[in-house]
Amino acid sequence: MHDHGPQLLDVSGGKPIKLWTRGVPVEDAARRQLLNTARMPFIFKHLAVMPDVHLGKGSTIGSVIPTLGAIIPAAVGVDIGCGMVAARTSLTACDLPDDLHRLRSAIERAVPHGKSFGKRDRGAWDQVPAATDAAWRALAGRFRAICAKHPRLEKSNHRVHLGTLGGGNHFIELCLDEADRVWLMLHSGSRGVGNAIGNLFIELAQADMRQHLANLPDKDLAYFEEGSRHFADYLEAVGWAQDYARQNRALMLQAVIAATRQVLGRPFEAQLEAVDCHHNYVQRERHFGREVLVTRKGAVSAQHGQLGIIPGSMGTRSYIVRGLGNAEAFCSCSHGAGRVMSRSQAKQRFDLADQLRATAHVECRKDKDVIDEIPMAYKDIDAVMAAQRDLVEVVHSLRQLVCVKG
């Protein structure tokens, strides 16, 4: 029997599940969620499960959910368009200073992150760079049209959060590849406005299905049928949030490049190889001869030849990959290593000494507030990569030197 490729799980009363999880743990609660999702009546062909799979809201993170004529807002989630951007620079390791703390501090000043919004978080738009203002103007017209139908969204942090990192597992890194070339990489999404859009439409789906909720295995599997009142509105709003997320990453990457140039005091090329990919999103795609809606909840598109980013954890490797276009996986791959424990479990199990040891080689925050992001809270990235070697090939292997956490 071959030692890679998907494991097949037949589902009574539902579509099969194909799992690329050989050699990596899958928690029982995640398996139950997969079975629930596979039994939804509009699943197309099968579910595809990536090796970083773990418990999520309604559906597991690390799953690819193809649907016909319906969409599950909670499967897309509330960090709509969350994803990664990475760019190779013309710098090499020998161009960097021995002390990287000044570089980390400059990046932290250049990109609002975590709780450090200051005046911007209180809506002082005069604090926003001109590039951010221009980016917002390009997005604003479509957003006003969405708000005309859903006025609640006007109160979200839409303008204020553009060009900001956020918290949790969002990060900015400076890395070296296998040839000691410097890469800049970051992970973020659609911030407050994506959260507001996600939560609004999850509530609307549950309200529309009030009389059917008792029949659902999980209320977070509430869905809109194509042609229903909110289906088109949701696709419009989610598409806009995905564009916002991509623009958000582009603005931050420019700020990181500028901060790095300032600290090093020298020019350098910064877009020699550039990769940008969502990993929480939905879009129409063609698979097995049909046009379907593909929801990637913690998964990356890996069409043949398409570049993607699979980050490890704070202190481990990340990978730039090229898709192999595996049709069975709906041309997808994992979006990272995937958690093996919750944030609260990580904080209970590990202490600051563990965090210091695990990140000794990285210039990063080393305090109790980031223990939930300790590398041991994640699956082994090498095992995750081995489990999906028929989905992607590795183009570059990156190791962190600097990590900024939100």
Q: Using alpha carbons only, what angle is made at residue 335 by residues 47 and 275, rounded to the nearest 5 degrees?
A: 125
Q: How confident is the model at residue 116 (pLDDT cuts 50, 70, 90)?
A: low
Segment 305-313 mean pLDDT: 95
Q: What is the arithmetic mean of pLDDT over 353-375?
A: 90
Give the distance from CA 7 to its chain's centroid.
25
Exposed, middle or buried: residue 212 (CB in 10 Å: 0-12, 13-18, 19+)? Answer: exposed
212 an active-site residue?
A: no
Handedness of CA 249, 254, 259, 265 (dihedral sign): positive
Cβ pair 396, 10 in contact under 8 A: no
Largest CA distance in the chain: 64
Span 192-248, pLDDT tens digits: 999 999 999 999 999 988 877 778 889 999 999 999 989 999 999 999 999 999 999
Domain extents for the chain? Answer: 7-340+378-405
Percent of the chain with pLDDT over 70: 96
187 beta partners = 84, 171
Q: 294 exposed, middle or buried (CB, 10 Å; 0-12, 13-18, 19+)?
A: buried
Compute CA distances 325 → 271, 285, 382, whole Å. Answer: 25, 13, 21
How many percent of the chain have pLDDT more than 90?
Answer: 82
Per-residue DSSP letter, 203: H
- For 7-340+378-405, the fitting CATH number among 3.10.290.10, 3.90.1860.10, 3.40.50.2300, 3.40.1390.20 is 3.90.1860.10
Tokens of 246: 């991509």
Handedness of CA 238, 242, 247, 253 (dihedral sign): positive
Kindly report the pTM of this predicted structure.
0.94
According to DSSP H, which parts of 64-157 are helical?
Answer: 73-76, 101-110, 130-149
Strand 290-297 relative to strand 299-301: parallel, antiparallel, unpaired? unpaired
Question: In which band, very low, low, confident or very high, does the pLDDT at 126 lie, cut at 50, 70 and 90?
Answer: low
| Catalytic residue chosen out of the listed positions 158, 335, 361, 396 | 335
122 vs 140, residue with greater confidence: 140
Q: CB–CB of 196/153 below 8 Å? A: yes
How many helices (H) and strands (E) the chain has is answered by: 10, 18
pLDDT at residue number 125 = 45
3-state DSSP helix/strand/coil percent for the chain, to nearest 5?
Answer: 40, 25, 35
